[in-house]
Amino acid sequence: MAGLSTVEFVIRLSELRKAKKHLFFNCGEFKDTDCADLLVSSCAATFRAVGTEFEAPVNASHPGLVRMPLRTLKELVQVAGTFRKPELKLRFELGKVQVEKFILRHPDVTLGIFPNQKLDLPADAGVVDTLALASLLSPEQILDQGLRERVETAQRYASGAISDAEEALRELGIRRTRIQKLVDAHIEEKAEKLTSVIQGRG
């Protein structure tokens, strides 16, 4: 039975396809790891991914908040297209998406989460911007923003770049700690600028 653990709405297939195309634009290497967030009211659904969002008219019988992997949204749209109907009913429960009578299951489909849009990044944000924002957030906030994979990728890249620099500068007697301090200072400077931007969004 539908309730607080269910989000359900009817949407036009054309709008669903537009939302998917919009969210995948510029996500690059993160198309398989980023998530899609849905904020569903009685008459509209906001589809959001890192750095972008798309609003579509809907008729919702059970409004609410949904999070799912972008790749699940892609699969959902592919399934929706097989029904050859202009409008489709979508139903979301924990770990499950239902398109008409077809059910997709994924453990990362969750309800009740929607990121703070003040803390967003551009879809094509680089390593420094990603690490700067991460430095301002708690681990829980990073998860809530759907940024864990992006942050971990940026951390791995930075660590590798520091190791490469350490190797190149070894003969000059420059230690890793000095390089790390330089990188940290650069990230901190970027974080200060980002803080001003975030406060301006308020």
Whole-model pTM: value is 0.81
Strand partners, 12: 87
- Note down the domain range covering 188: 117-201
Shared domain for 23 and 91, answered yes or no, is yes
First-to-last C-alpha distance (Å) of the chain: 39
Percentage above 70 pLDDT, the chain: 97
Q: Taking 70 as the threshold, does the pLDDT of residue 32 lie above it?
A: yes
Three-state DSSP string of 89-147? EEEEECCEEEECCEEEECCCCEECCCCCHHHCCCCCCCHHHHHHHHHCCCHHHHHHCCC
Q: Domain check: are 102 and 145 in the same one? A: no
Mean pLDDT confidence for 128-138: 94
88 and 11 fall within a common domain: yes
The residue from 93, 111, 129 where one domain ends is 111
Rounded CA-CA distance 102/97 in Å is 8
* Final residue of a structural domain among 50, 76, 111: 111
Q: Is residue 2 part of a domain?
A: no
- 45 forms bridges with which residues in the sheet? 40, 56
